[in-house]
């Protein structure tokens, strides 16, 4: 895989999209030391100073159907590498965040680019590694170094994470999301907690009961029935 490294760009996601549009050979990864306009889902800003891990992986996929699943599979890859390298357990906050002690350490943004019947998956990953988190400004955020009390080798972590993500996405394409469901349900944040999911001005509330075989969030109603939520964001946690 080719690594395209920049000291300071607006967004690895936007840069990767443009490079893919220009016909660059897949797969490749865009890496930045600093992003001036990093973004997450729904256009939210993502603070991306030096010391963090900011990248976007671009690779060909059969179709655009598994975008949400690819974000969660990427979360599996990142969490598995972090646990192995640091001993820190990260939990998946559906559908695209990783938490440590209820604080956000990693955000994932999965998008697709379709051109001439070919589909490119763009997976953006932002991990707070050695960057300083000002908790007065970001009370729900943390970093790996902040949790450990010492800095980490970002380049080593990035290389292992990239390799694991590529491997896991290939597994998703070949075997489907079923392969990852047991791990997801064992490492799902907010399990058994009452939450509200918001999508296009609509809200669904219930207790988090797990994930379906397709990656939908399962919410338990007060009467014990369970509903599936296919898209949205948990807005109170």
Q: Burial level of 85, CB count in 10 A (0-12/13-18/19+)?
A: middle
Q: What burial letters (b/e) apply to 117-132, b meaning 16+ CB within 10 Å?
A: eebbbbbbbbbbbbbe
Q: In degrees, to the nearest 5, what angle opens at C-alpha 198 toward C-alphas 72 and 182?
A: 30
Class of domain 2-185: alpha beta
Whether residue 230 has pLDDT greater than 70: yes
Confidence of residue 201 (pLDDT cuts 50, 70, 90): confident
Inform me whether the pLDDT recorded for 166 exceeds 60: yes
pLDDT of residue 37: 74
Residue 200 has what pLDDT? 87
Cα 103 from Cα 160, distance rounded (Å) = 23
Q: Which residues belong to CATH 3.30.930.10 in the chain?
A: 2-185
pLDDT digits over 18-74, tens only?
Answer: 999 999 999 999 999 999 877 655 556 667 899 999 999 999 998 877 788 999 999
CATH 2.30.30.100 region(s) of the chain?
A: 191-234
Q: How many CB atoms within 10 Å of residue 24? A: 16
With a threshold of 0.75, does the pTM exceed it? yes
In tens, the pLDDT along 71-129 reads: 999 999 999 999 999 999 999 999 999 999 999 999 999 999 998 888 999 999 999 99
User: Phi and psi at residue 200, in whole multiples of 5°?
Assistant: 50, 50
Average pLDDT rounded to a whole number, residues 192-202: 93
Conformational region of residue 130, where left means phi above 0, alpha means psi within -120 to 50, and beta covers everything else: alpha
Q: For the purposes of burial, counting CB atoms within 10 Å of the CB of 7, is it exposed (0-12), middle (13-18) or buried (19 or more)?
A: exposed
* CA separation, residue 144 to residues 151, 178, 179, 220 (Å): 8, 29, 27, 33
- pLDDT score of 26: 95
Q: Which CATH fold topology does 191-234 show?
A: SH3 type barrels. (2.30.30)
At residue 236, the pLDDT reads 66
Give 208's Cβ-side CA count (13 Å radius): 27
């Amino acid at each position: 895989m080719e690594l395209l490294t920049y000291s300071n760009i607006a967004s690895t996601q936007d840069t990767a999209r443009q490079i893919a549009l220009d016909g660059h050979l897949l797969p490749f990864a865009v890496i930045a030391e600093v992003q001036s306009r990093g973004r997450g889902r729904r256009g939210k800003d993502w603070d991306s100073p030096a010391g963090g891990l900011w990248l976007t992986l671009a690779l060909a996929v059969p179709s655009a159907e598994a975008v949400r699943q690819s974000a969660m599979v990427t979360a599996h890859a990142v969490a598995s590498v972090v646990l192995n390298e640091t001993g820190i357990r990260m939990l998946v906050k559906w559908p695209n965040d990783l938490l440590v002690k209820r604080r956000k350490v990693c955000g994932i943004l999965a998008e697709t680019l379709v051109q001439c019947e070919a589909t490119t998956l763009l997976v953006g990953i932002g991990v707070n590694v050695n960057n300083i988190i000002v908790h007065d400004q970001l009370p729900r955020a943390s970093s790996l170094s902040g949790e450990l009390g010492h800095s980490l080798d970002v380049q080593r972590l990035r290389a292992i994470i990239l390799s694991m993500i590529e491997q896991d996405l290939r597994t998703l394409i070949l075997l489907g999301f079923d392969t990852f469901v047991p791990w997801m349900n064992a490492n799902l944040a907010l399990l058994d907690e009452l939450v509200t999911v918001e999508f296009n001005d609509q809200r669904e509330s219930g207790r988090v009961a797990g994930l379906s075989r397709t990656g939908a969030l399962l919410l338990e109603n007060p009467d014990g029935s369970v509903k599936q939520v296919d898209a949205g964001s948990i807005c109170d946690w």
